[in-house]
């Protein structure tokens, strides 16, 4: 089995688990009780809360009137992520040397997204390996240039995301104490 096929299987399995959690709440609750609750009430409550947040996040799927909004917002977010990858082509002169365009940046964005889906902190290592590997294999770019491109786009994206996220975290919590998890007794009772 090729590495890409293995990644596809992992993504499909993770998607199936998430869909099961969202679409079958009774089955999910039963699975949590049988597998986790019998060993640790605290761990059960953490997983239960996580599952509920997934279910809440997917609630928009049950609201067809919101499909256009969801689609537009998703496309806008993707566009914002693809633009820096495309602009970095100009920094490396890939647009003239290898004739890479916005479509190529979109493809590399998809490859990079797979790296973030896999369980690694911030896609570190995986992003660089997958994106530079795709560039070397498909576009015949030197491994050094491809790795430099992957490192720069990952670093810039990570820094910008951290700064924007940090700004909004401070804005949301200005004047408020940072909430901590309530004791288990408060959650249960």
User: In this model, does residue 181 exceed pLDDT 80?
Assistant: no
pTM above 0.85, yes or no: no
Copy the structure tokens of residue 56: 């809440």
Q: Higher model confidence: residue 3 or residue 83? A: 83
pLDDT in tens, 93-138: 999 999 999 999 999 999 999 888 887 787 778 999 999 999 999 9
Q: 51 with 28: CB under 8 angstroms? A: yes
* CA atoms within 13 Å, Cβ hemisphere of 62: 7
Domain residue ranges in the chain: 1-62, 66-176
Average of pLDDT values for 38-51? 88
**What confidence score (pLDDT) does residue 187 get?**
53
What are φ and ψ of residue 113, in 5° steps? -65, -40
pLDDT at 188 over 60: no
Per-residue pLDDT tens digits for 159-177: 988 999 999 889 888 876 6
Distance CA 153, CA 84 (A): 7
């Amino acid at each position: 089995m090729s590495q890409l096929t293995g990644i596809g299987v992992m993504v499909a399995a993770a998607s199936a688990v998430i869909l099961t959690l969202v679409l079958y709440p009774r089955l999910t609750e039963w699975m949590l009780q049988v597998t986790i609750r019998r060993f640790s009430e605290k761990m059960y409550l953490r997983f239960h809360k996580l599952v509920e947040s997934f279910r809440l996040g997917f609630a928009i799927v049950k609201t067809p009137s919101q499909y256009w909004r969801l689609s537009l917002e998703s496309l806008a977010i993707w566009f914002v992520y693809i633009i820096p990858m495309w602009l970095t082509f100009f920094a490396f002169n890939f647009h003239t040397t290898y004739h890479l365009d916005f479509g190529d940046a979109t493809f590399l964005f998809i490859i990079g997204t797979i790296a973030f889906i896999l369980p690694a902190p911030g896609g570190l290592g995986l992003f660089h390996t997958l994106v530079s590997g795709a560039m070397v294999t498909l576009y015949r770019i030197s491994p050094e240039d491809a790795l430099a491109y992957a490192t720069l786009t990952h670093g810039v994206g990570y820094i910008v995301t951290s700064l924007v996220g940090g700004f909004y975290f401070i804005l949301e919590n200005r004047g408020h104490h940072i909430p901590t998890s309530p004791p288990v007794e408060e959650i249960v009772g």
